[in-house]
Structure 1
Amino acid sequence: MSEIESLFVTRLYRARLSEFGPKVDTGELEASCYAIAEDDEAGQDWCEENGYPGYTSYASLTDLPWRFPIFADIVKSLDAHVAAFAEDLQFDLGGGTLVLEDLWINILPEGGAHGSHIHPHSVISGTTYVAMPDGASALKLEDPRHAMMMAAPTRIKSARRELQPFIYVAPEPGEVLLWESWLRHEVPMNMAEDERISVSFNYKWVE
């Protein structure tokens, strides 16, 4: 009797941020993101110089958890979520641990998008979602085998989820998504009239 099994699985973690750690009010977090964006002139300048739609603190603020208590609370929750994901992935961390490398704000206006990319030098990456208005773009995840498919035909539209070339995940405010940092992903154009707000982050392995 023939047998088919799935190999080399790509895992995606999804949970409520509040499942671990202090409860974070998304309304307060949204107001904090806007206040930071308004005061962060270096971040505004970077976005303008690099053609980045909306605002990101990625290139300007590296110490959000130390500046603002609400981001310190987020990190406490994220540490627990990342530890749970690492356990699911069955990582052998030896005597080391996964620690926060960086954390930044994203405010994406109507018509804004964030092109396909990976997060080199990190182990786990992810995003927690602050505001996802109706029509806001989902997270788009790409099958990491694309470069090896060569002459393979396309999949049928009704292909099983694990065989789809792209997966779209529409998170809700207050949720967190985690994935391994080598997984290519993007944010398609935001079709909502209101801004899509999220906080993204990377974790690295420290031995």
Structure 2
Amino acid sequence: MTETSTGIVELWPTPLYIADQAEQTSREEVVEMNAQLHDLILKAEARDEGAFNFGMIGAQKSSIDLLRWEHPAVHWLRSRLLSAVRDLSHDTLGGQAETATSYPIQAEGWAVVYHEGASHKQHTHHDSVWSGTYYVATGGVDAGAGHLQLLDPRPGAIARSASPGVGSVRPFPGLLVVFPSWLPHSVKATLSATGEPRIGVAFNVTYDLEPTA
């Protein structure tokens, strides 16, 4: 907005990237990569059981080095995440995007396995620019279960009942969602009539602004 703008303008919009990776690559590729990630993540869950579950109810996190695991499916996922971040940065920053994306990208990721009834409390991600989730499997999802919830970050708007309310994203395998790390979000309790868990890869991305020696 400039000093000469008149009328109704939109201040501080919140960008949200949502993309079915099958439309970016192919359905066959996504199914194959998800099958490999599924096995890797469940093995990690068994290995790390009980070690990483802060903020979650009935769910289990892996260690945060997932994006550094040496496996073709992990390499594929990392490339999809970084491609989405570059697209989102260019869309958000316009002419400044080239400067921002010229810095090395630092990314960390971890798997989250949600079993029947599991959920994640409202939270934000600190010390990063973009955060998000890639869905490997979603178990049971309906209108009242398993959705990613995005909350209005403006306390004043909520207090004055001027907020449009909670944004909801219904997950499916192959869906990639990216948003600013400061955006409050949560996960509704998971429904799994088949007993299959919901499996996602959460991640943080930032830029290395330190000058190289």
TM-score by length of 1: 0.79
1:134 to 128, 135, 141: 141
Q: How is 1:154-169 mapped onto 2 (pairs within 5 angstroms)?
A: 154=161, 163-169=163-169
Q: Distance in 2 between matches of 1:19 and 1:97?
A: 28
1:38 to 31, 43, 67: 43
Matched-pair contact (CA < 8 Å) for 2:17–2:177: yes
Matched-pair contact (CA < 8 Å) for 1:30–1:197: no
**CA spacing shift, 1:196–1:49, aligned 2, 3 Å:** closer
Q: How is 1:6-155 mapped onto 2 (pairs within 5 angstroms)?
A: 6-20=10-24, 24-26=29-31, 28-40=33-45, 43-47=48-52, 52-57=57-62, 60=63, 62-90=65-93, 92=96, 94=99, 96-97=102-103, 99-132=105-138, 133-135=140-142, 136-146=145-155, 148-149=156-157, 151-152=159-160, 154=161
Tell me the amino acid that sits aligned with residue 206 of structure 1.
D
Matched-pair contact (CA < 8 Å) for 1:141–1:166: yes
Matched-pair contact (CA < 8 Å) for 2:120–2:186: yes
**CA spacing shift, 1:201–1:117, aligned 2, 3 Å:** same
**CA spacing shift, 1:53–1:8, aligned 2, 3 Å:** same
Matched-pair contact (CA < 8 Å) for 2:124–2:181: yes
Identity %: 26
Q: Distance in 2 between matches of 1:50 and 1:149?
A: 26
Matched-pair contact (CA < 8 Å) for 2:125–2:181: yes
The aligned residue for residue 190 of structure 2 is: 190
User: In terms of mean alpha carbon deviation, does 173-182 or 189-198 score higher?
Assistant: 189-198
Q: Distance in 2 between matches of 1:106 and 1:129?
A: 10
Matched-pair contact (CA < 8 Å) for 1:138–1:170: yes
Matched-pair contact (CA < 8 Å) for 1:56–1:105: yes
Q: CA RMSD in A?
A: 2.9
How many residues align? The count is: 195
TM-score by length of 2: 0.77
Which SS does the other structure have where 1:88 is aligned?
Answer: helix
The aligned residue for residue 160 of structure 1 is: none
Q: Distance in 2 between matches of 1:110 and 1:81?
A: 30
Which SS does the other structure have where 1:130 is aligned?
Answer: strand
Q: Distance in 2 between matches of 1:56 and 1:109?
A: 12
Q: Distance in 1 between matches of 2:124 and 2:61?
A: 17
Q: CA deviation at 1:76?
A: 1.1
